[in-house]
Chain A
């Protein structure tokens, strides 16, 4: 059996023996159905509102909006869940010191790390499928024409990419500290910060672009974005969640920040960078003193 498979089997065994796994599955399913119901309620309200003439095209347009709304909501929740889950992926072994012992054996740190990443990717796919099934079940009760398969698959693309990126980020965070509480705290603070900075940087970027070129509007400011705002906006992986509305061509109040192809490239880049950073951080695993303690020593606090 290859070393990679040995690590993978061990990680699967650890995951399935952890009661939090069952809690996570149940919570995921419940949240997905709840969000799907909320999206469905909004959809029903839209199709019965005022004097709207109901045609197949209008139903499909409204379904696209509902789908975007659903994936935006569930996508944000799943990003947080997988960020937290992946940041705890190493806590059992790091906290107990087992990871250090394992590294005294004939193992490759890369394979050890990537086996966890693969398992987390499988979990992401599973989570996405649960979310899709919840949406399909709820909307099938509506007895309305569903969107074609292509649109459904396209709607899942950017939530999938976002979750993969945040999973890679979470696993990187897992290498920074030994304690479960510490890594969760880092993950939550980072997510809140990134989310806040994302919207702020887009708004400020739009204002800066329109100030520099008064002919620009909310619908085309991206062509005049100053470089510093481009760096700020495109270095933040939270923008990926907006890709669903761009992919399904649903109107929103801002110019699209990227097209589908650019979004995929951006996501792949984020994923590769976070994975590389995680591997680099994990390569220091053998040291007895965690990074946080070393940092404190360096600034004379310990």
Chain B
């Protein structure tokens, strides 16, 4: 990974709410480090209060950081970043078009009116563009918020819980929108509790707990890991021993189901090794490890969710 591929990085980002005069200071973010690559959609996952929103706010500069650095590869953060807050706010008594136009003018876009109209059309708000925002549904406001965030064509889009409160139809629409933005080269960092959407959208996932980044699960082609599940006709210690050269994995209590995290290329060798060791393979099942499985492993098994 070259330095030119990294669009946004944070080193030892920390945020403490409170000061020497206040009681009960909260360490919301604790030495969090991350990198977002060009064209990458990175999910930010963690329980409530883990520090997801704080991290996004620090990157945007809405909150001042206590420690750490944020590097945008020399780009002006206000030009290179777009932000969709958890609860998007608008000039509610003005039209959707004017809300976009205002931001377009602030960003000094050459054709603010034309760009605003184009985005109104692209984000499916054509019939409501001149209606005041207070009459919009949650889904429409979310689309408007994203349109507003990308109006100046940022390199990285930050989104705080973009799927929150949306019905399934809206989630599918939003997912399609975001994939369209990715196709145009935009990188994204989005926090969400919707693990299914994270699975379908994200190239990588950052897991955060108590303000610390505890794991990054890379989902790029090179790093893709698959859950291989072998079902045997009878339990076999020899098969388990033979497969031990592939690290990790679990064996079910009845000894019939062997699970291993492997890359796709290793699957034929594993199955062949199991057969060579005398095992009778009844079923061979490959599944990409879901975000939900990882979430359960990280947060629930340790009883800290």
- B62 engages A98 (CB within 8 Å): no
- A287 engages B63 (CB within 8 Å): yes
Q: Is B93 an interface residue (CB 8 A)?
A: yes
Interface residues of A in 90-110 (CB under 8 A from B): 92-93, 96-98, 100-107
Docked pose: A289 CA to B94 CA in angstroms: 27
Docked pose: A14 CA to B103 CA in angstroms: 15
- A286 nearest CB neighbor, chain B only: B62
- Chain B interface residue number, banded: 20 to 34
Name the one of B21, B22, B62, B78 contacting A100, with C-beta atoms under 8 angstroms: B62
Q: Which of B88, B92, B102, B132 has the most CB of A within 10 A?
A: B102
> What's the nearest-Cβ distance from chain A to residue B98, in Å?
7
List chain B residues, Cβ under 8 A from A100: 62
- B102 engages A297 (CB within 8 Å): no
- Pair count A-B, CB < 8 A: 69
Name the one of A17, A101, A294 contacting B94, with C-beta atoms under 8 angstroms: A17
Q: Is A149 an interface residue (CB 8 A)?
A: no
Q: Is B89 an interface residue (CB 8 A)?
A: yes
- B93 engages A17 (CB within 8 Å): yes
Name the one of B62, B76, B79, B90 contacting A96, with C-beta atoms under 8 angstroms: B90
> What's the nearest-Cβ distance from chain A to residue B94, in Å?
6
List chain B residues, Cβ under 8 A from A287: 63-64
Query: What are the interface flags for B111-127 relative to A under an 8 Å C-beta threshold, 1 for contact and 0 otherwise?
Result: 00000000000000000
Contact flag A104-B83 (CB < 8 Å), given A17-B93, A96-B89, A286-B61: yes
List chain A residues, Cβ under 8 A from B294: none
Q: Is A30 an interface residue (CB 8 A)?
A: no
- A105 engages B22 (CB within 8 Å): no
- B23 engages A106 (CB within 8 Å): no
Docked pose: A297 CA to B18 CA in angstroms: 9
> What's the nearest-Cβ distance from chain A to residue B107, in Å?
6
- A10 engages B102 (CB within 8 Å): yes
Query: What are the interface flags for A275-302 relative to B under an 8 Å C-beta threshold, 1 for contact and 0 otherwise?
Result: 0000000000011110000100110100
- B94 engages A104 (CB within 8 Å): no
List chain A residues, Cβ under 8 A from B102: 6, 10
Interface residues of B in 227-244 (CB under 8 A from A): none
Name the one of B60, B76, B87, B98 contacting A104, with C-beta atoms under 8 angstroms: B60
Contact flag A288-B57 (CB < 8 Å), given A13-B94, A100-B62: yes
- A101 engages B85 (CB within 8 Å): yes
Name the one of A13, A97, A102 contacting B106, with C-beta atoms under 8 angstroms: A102
Q: Is A1 an interface residue (CB 8 A)?
A: yes
- B90 engages A105 (CB within 8 Å): no
Contact flag A298-B21 (CB < 8 Å), given A18-B93, A97-B87: yes
> What's the nearest-Cβ distance from chain A to residue B160, in Å?
12
Docked pose: A19 CA to B93 CA in angstroms: 10
- B83 engages A286 (CB within 8 Å): no
- B85 nearest CB neighbor, chain A only: A101
Question: Chain B at the A interface: mostly helix, strand, loop or mixed?
Answer: loop
Docked pose: A286 CA to B57 CA in angstroms: 10
Per the CB 8 Å criterion, the residue count for chain A at the interface is 29
Q: Is A212 an interface residue (CB 8 A)?
A: no
List chain B residues, Cβ under 8 A from A106: 76, 78-79, 106-108
Q: Is A213 an interface residue (CB 8 A)?
A: no
Q: Is B91 an interface residue (CB 8 A)?
A: yes
- B22 engages A14 (CB within 8 Å): no
- A13 engages B98 (CB within 8 Å): yes
- A96 engages B92 (CB within 8 Å): yes
Interface residues of B in 12-71 (CB under 8 A from A): 17-18, 21-23, 57, 60-64
- B88 nearest CB neighbor, chain A only: A101
List chain B residues, Cβ under 8 A from A13: 94, 98
- B61 engages A104 (CB within 8 Å): yes
Docked pose: A172 CA to B5 CA in angstroms: 46
Contact flag A101-B106 (CB < 8 Å), given A106-B78, A297-B23, A298-B21: no
Interface residues of A in 1-25 (CB under 8 A from B): 1, 3, 6, 10, 13-14, 17-18
List chain A residues, Cβ under 8 A from B89: 96-98, 101
Query: What are the interface flags for A166-196 relative to B under an 8 Å C-beta threshold, 1 for contact and 0 otherwise?
Result: 0000000000000000000000000000000
- B77 nearest CB neighbor, chain A only: A104
Name the one of B23, B93, B108 contacting A300, with C-beta atoms under 8 angstroms: B23
Q: Which of A14, A104, A289 has the most CB of B within 10 A?
A: A104
Interface residues of A in 62-93 (CB under 8 A from B): 92-93
Name the one of A17, A286, A289 contacting B64, with C-beta atoms under 8 angstroms: A286
Contact flag A14-B85 (CB < 8 Å), given A106-B107, A107-B106: no
Contact flag A14-B93 (CB < 8 Å), given A104-B78, A297-B22, A298-B22: yes
List chain B residues, Cβ under 8 A from A298: 21-22
> What's the nearest-Cβ distance from chain A to residue B38, in Å?
22
What is B's interface to A at a CB cutoff of 8 Å? 17-18, 21-23, 57, 60-64, 76, 78-79, 83, 85, 87-94, 98, 102-103, 105-108, 132
- In the A-B complex, the 5 residue pairs with the smallest Cβ-Cβ separation, listed nearest first, are A96-B89, A97-B89, A6-B105, A98-B89, A17-B93
A-B CB contact pairs (8 Å), 16 listed: A3-B106, A6-B102, A14-B91, A92-B91, A97-B85, A97-B89, A100-B62, A101-B89, A103-B62, A104-B62, A104-B78, A107-B106, A286-B61, A286-B62, A287-B63, A297-B18
